[in-house]
Amino acid sequence: MYNTRKQFLEKECELAVLPVGAVEQHGSHLPVGTDAIIAQEIAARLARRLNAYLLPCLSISSSIEHRESKGTVYLRSDTLALVIRDIAESLRYSGFRRLIVFTGHGGNWILKPTIRQMNRDYVERGLDMDVILIPSNISGARQGDILNHVQHDLHAGEKETSIMLHLCPEHVEPIVPATAHTTVPQDYMDYFDVIDITEDGYWGFPQEATADKGKQLLDLMEDRSIAYLEALEQERRRINALKTR
Ligand SMILES: [Zn+2]
């Protein structure tokens, strides 16, 4: 974001990283910008590792499932799809050839089919451009080595609270204890607002969060993202080699 026109001209850079966050309620203990703060951190780490152009976070995304809570601001999912298309298109037009999208918000489901379609559209238009999606659950099963709860810890729970305790403890407020854990299926968010199926807007186990777990989780997310990108690149080379035979 602080690079000048001259710096872009001098530096051969064809890779950009876009963090996508959310502005949505995260209970009484975490700020509405939690997903944006986490996405920005991971994207910054990836951009550093890959020597890529780090874009400012697209903070407002698909959070309609939290709209009953004041402070939540959201785009319709179709709007988010169009925004991602425009961002990728403007990057491609000025010379970028690859865009990595890291989403810190699990509710941005629309990104997956959108990016799947975009990559096919680029092929059909004969354009040299790829868009790669890295989801917030990239840490996968290995986060079970760090967290006490890998299941039913969906929102502002042990994972996100741990990361926030590591990144910005000054923004973590006291947790309001829940009398019972939310046990309905995750896809009930398709029908109900999160504040109607939870007691304080969080869904998980924030009481078990620690800053040390947060540090370990961020390191794991960074390493898993890099491993994913390397594996993808390897597969791309293998397929291209077969095609050019
Ligand atoms: Zn979140």
The string of DSSP letters for 77-127 reads HHHHHHHHHHHHHHHHHTT--EEEEEES-TT-TTHHHHHHHHHHHHHHTT-
pLDDT score, position 11: 86
Please check whether residue 8 lies inside any domain of the structure: no
Please check whether residue 143 lies inside any domain of the structure: yes
Would the pLDDT of 214 be above 80? yes
Q: Which domain holds residue 81?
A: 14-243
Would the pLDDT of 12 be above 90? no
Q: State in Å: Cα 71 to ligand 1 middle.
A: 14
Q: What is the CATH number of the domain that holds 32?
A: 3.40.50.10310
Give the pLDDT mean for 176-202.
93
Please check whether residue 2 lies inside any domain of the structure: no
Q: State in Å: Cα 53 to ligand 1 middle.
A: 24
Q: State in Å: Cα 155 to ligand 1 middle.
A: 5
Would the pLDDT of 7 be above 90? no
Please check whether residue 166 lies inside any domain of the structure: yes
Please check whether residue 146 lies inside any domain of the structure: yes
18 phi and psi angles, rounded to 5 deg: -115, 115
Would the pLDDT of 139 be above 80? yes
User: How confident is the model over 103-133, as pLDDT tens digits?
Assistant: 999 999 999 999 999 999 999 999 999 999 9
Would the pLDDT of 147 be above 80? yes
Would the pLDDT of 137 be above 80? yes
Please check whether residue 7 lies inside any domain of the structure: no
Please check whether residue 4 lies inside any domain of the structure: no
Q: State in Å: Cα 13 to ligand 1 middle.
A: 31
Rounded to two decimals, the pTM is 0.95
Number of domains the chain contains:
1
Q: State in Å: Cα 236 to ligand 1 middle.
A: 32
Residue 55's pLDDT band (cuts 50, 70, 90): very high
Beta-carbon contacts of residue 238 (< 8 Å; ≥ 6 apart): none
